[in-house]
Amino acid sequence: MEIQEKKSLLQKRLANVENPAVLDEIEEILNRNEQKYFDFDKAFSEGYTVEEFRQEIHKRIKSWDWKK
């Protein structure tokens, strides 16, 4: 079955659904799929600057126990 046929069949079946619990479950599935996409712009804006990264790396390296 081709994608267009599947979409058409699903649309017809969804148009006849009247049970709120089923609609809520479908909405939950759709929301989960939306959350799979990674927002690079958001992650980039929340990330370290180059200088912050250097400071954090130096701090972490200094915290390691180097004595044997």
- Owner of token pair 């004595």: 67
- pLDDT band, residue 26 (cuts 50/70/90): confident
Q: What's the confidence (pLDDT) of residue 68?
A: 66
Amino acid identity for residue 11 in this structure: Q
**What residue spans define the domains of the chain?**
20-68
What number of CA atoms fall less than 13 Å from residue 56's CA on the CB side?
7
**How many percent of the chain have pLDDT more than 90?**
34
* Model confidence, pTM: 0.41
Q: What's the confidence (pLDDT) of residue 65?
A: 87
**Mean pLDDT of all residues in 22-51:** 84
Please answer whether residues 53 and 41 qualify as being in contact, where contact means their C-beta atoms are separated by less than 8 angstroms.
no
